[in-house]
Chain A
């Protein structure tokens, strides 16, 4: 019995591991193929566009009186190449459309002509290309694309490349835009290896062990398990190797075919460019290098020689793809073997039993847990990952590994002790420093929570009187600040604190004082925040305290009074201890909420003056959404989280210690 159960588990492990890794591997391989196809399509469009740009260069570089619009040239180019559907040549100087076979352009008037206002997009693209070329030349390090390609919905591709003139060979004079239907033929990746990997190892193992169990009788189930595991892992590795190599070789061959097709295409372009130069009597000679097959930064790729031969470089280029895909396959293999071991050694069975035994509980928690995982815990993890990178608004497309910064952000935040700034006028605090902001945040939290608890407790004590008249009315009105949306109240208070018209300054003046510019000094600005947040947060504490007070039975007071306790003693020894279980969680929550109270600071004082009243969370927000330093801001937020976590752990320890003392 136990033999067959082990065999069954291992077979299931082989099946699940094979299935999962096969699907993942297929997905990776398909992704790699799709990437390669997209790249090849762009290269085809680029070759056609670059060749035409060279002809336009020759044509536009002619002496002024010989110069004609390149209309005939693009017509020739389109006739020679079936894959070119439409061409547009624009010149930036004078915003002129030199030639075009786009229907939209022809409807607006026959080129050559000036661009219309409604065709601003056409002009803007030229500006962008010129700016990108300039940036890359000045920085000496290509960063902005000089060949802009765009996949269109109808399966066509739009490629734009800049053209230059002999007079100014470094500045883009305009661009040539082609709409191309790439001729690259693609085929689907074979799917059968997936089925083989999923089924064959499991099947082989099952049959093999059935036969073996007939022939050999092993006494110890332990040894059966281990020999089964070893065999199955070996079998799995063997099949994984076959699976991976099949796709790698297949993709390699496919890649070579793409290169060959591109080489033919290049040769054809070259021939027709030479013929075109002759036909239009252009002063143009084809070079003995392939300058048309370029990457997005217009750097030659050097895969195809000028006479259409494939260079060795093709193989190396494929190697990088293969390496990446190989890594992915390796990851899949580890996963497969992991799954196999998990199933084979019974982990999966135990896991399954737990799920089944407690299925009711898990079903009830599943919806909430799924939501939390996807929309809370995953973003949190992703945010922590971001904190180790240099991500800004300008490099969001790059993979995280390319902008990995390690602990740099943290070192920059925590390691910066420049608290004092010395300028010509003397010295001042550096309000941008992390420790200043931390100090303000802690002060803000402590003051706010103290005020909230004190006022809340006082009001609750006053209201907790069964015979008090208008009790419901008082409670209803006192709770209003909690009920009003807090962005509304924050903005109301901003108005109340207005220097000229605000009622608060009017009141001060009424008593003969001078109006205060509340947001101009560190202290008064801090005071505004405290006032607003105190006003906002006491109702919560009041309600909590009321709940706590209602649960204290009056007998205790009765007894205390008989013992001669005065009112303060009753409060100190009965009320406060009975309130503790209600108050402590509320205080912890309120500390966490106040620490991260974004709206009040952001909307009332905005951290004025000079960012001195910023708290950590508003600072992190500004770093992300005003400075666009996503990585740095994420590190800042992570530090906030760590501070709160340490506080939480510490607080629970302390309150537990207090409980055990009591």
Chain B
């Protein structure tokens, strides 16, 4: 296919289409960058005069601020507890990633390599759990985490919830990947006298690096981006995570678009960087299992 395109259709046309799509894709992000660096709280890139000309209108669309200023960033960092919230998010997301990857890898390995009663039922139940509406779980989750486990307003409450919620998707993905790793590798290791634990940690996990990276990425994103459960479980302002805190800027009373934009960028940068870093694994990690099947 690839050679085909190159042979028959003009690469310029392809580039035109791709550039158009890419421009549309990144425009909203450029817009938020513009607002963030404008130093103003308004969501207009440029204010229009009384009778705007075509150029005035064009100026209001082009995503580049009239004056470049860091005022919004400084305000976000200094005025609110923003750094505390970022720190909270970092703790929650990191521990969610560690716990989520551990839980998913062990379970996925068992589902991929062992035959045992309840295997099919377990996998099916994971799949069905993706259909559970979040709204159905929220009131019971609150009761369990806050009243029974006594983990309200703590990081551990959030970490446990996030890492569990990410399990089903990660297990399915990892199982698909583990299935593609030839079983002969393990069999020869067993011949050499290696135990299951050794095989799991020394052979399987390194081989499954792409899928595990993707699992880690998704677990991290689950912990870093979620705000509904976080606002449900966290009562004190100093325990908020960054997404919950960000909602302050676009609250019901005032919309501080400039601060919100600056805050969004600070919040997004770590996860975007991580995403870009993991990108090379994304394709193979996500689709290895299903391609084979």
Contact = CB atoms under 8 A, between A and B. Distances in A.
Interface of A: 354, 358, 360-362, 364-365, 367-369, 371-372, 374-380, 382-384, 386-387, 455, 459, 461-470, 474-489, 491-493, 495-496, 498, 500-503, 506-507, 509-510, 535, 543-544, 546-552, 554, 557, 561, 567, 570, 575, 581-582, 585-586, 589, 592-593, 596, 598, 616-617, 620-621, 624-625, 630, 633-634, 636-638, 640-641, 644-645, 648
B8 A361 contact: no
A498 B43 contact: yes
Interface stretch (B73-81, B103-111, B183-191): B103-111
Contacts of B201: none
B194 interface: no
B156 interface: no
Interface string B256-293: 01001000100110011001100100111011101101
A551 to B, nearest CB: 4
A367 B99 CA distance: 10
B98 interface: no
Contacts of B17: 462
A557 B1 contact: yes
A369 B287 contact: no
Interface in B107-143: 107, 109-111, 114-117, 119, 122, 125-141, 143
Contacts of B253: none
Contacts of B136: 379-380, 383-384, 387, 620, 634, 637-638, 640-641
B163 interface: yes
Contacts of B29: 480, 484, 492
A465 B9 CA distance: 12
A625 B232 CA distance: 10
A547 B276 CA distance: 17
A648 B110 CA distance: 25
Contacts of A506: 57, 60-61
Q: Which range contains the number of B residues in contact with the other chain?
A: 35 or more
Given A386-B139, A620-B133, A644-B131, A358 B28 contact: no
Nearest to B45: A503
B25 A554 contact: no
A554 B2 CA distance: 8
29 contacts: A360-B114, A361-B114, A361-B116, A368-B106, A372-B168, A375-B144, A380-B132, A383-B136, A386-B140, A467-B6, A469-B15, A476-B276, A478-B22, A485-B268, A487-B246, A489-B28, A492-B28, A502-B43, A507-B61, A509-B57, A548-B290, A551-B287, A551-B291, A554-B2, A592-B130, A592-B131, A596-B133, A636-B135, A640-B136
A585 B290 contact: yes
B18 interface: yes
Best-buried of B137, B165, B246 by chain A (most CB within 10 Å):
B137
Contact of B14 (A462, A476, A593, A634): A462
Contacts of A387: 136
Contacts of A644: 131
Interface string B221-244: 100110110000000000000010
Nearest to A360: B196
In the A-B complex, list the 8 residue pairs whose CB atoms are closest, starting with the nearest: A547-B287, A637-B136, A364-B110, A368-B107, A483-B275, A361-B114, A379-B140, A501-B44
B54 A510 contact: yes
B254 interface: no
Nearest to B247: A487
Given A621-B135, A645-B131, A503 B61 contact: yes
B14 A550 contact: no
A162 B260 CA distance: 50
Contacts of B212: none
Given A361-B110, A480-B29, A617-B133, A543 B144 contact: no
Given A547-B286, A633-B135, A379 B279 contact: no
Contacts of B267: 485, 488
Contacts of B290: 548, 581-582, 585-586
Given A546-B283, A550-B283, A592-B130, A491 B275 contact: no
Contact of A510 (B4, B61, B115): B61
B2 A464 contact: yes
Contacts of A485: 221, 224-225, 243, 264, 267-268, 271
Given A368-B171, A478-B22, A510-B57, A495 B275 contact: no
Given A358-B117, A493-B28, A372 B135 contact: no
A637 B135 contact: yes
Contacts of B138: 624-625
Contacts of B4: 557, 561, 567, 570
A310 to B, nearest CB: 38
B130 A589 contact: yes
Best-buried of A462, A474, A479, A503 by chain B (most CB within 10 Å):
A503
B134 A598 contact: yes
Contacts of A487: 225, 227, 243, 246
Contacts of A484: 29, 268, 271-272
A582 B291 contact: yes
Contacts of B163: 371
A478 B21 contact: yes
A368 B133 CA distance: 20
Given A485-B268, A501-B42, A546-B283, A480 B140 contact: no
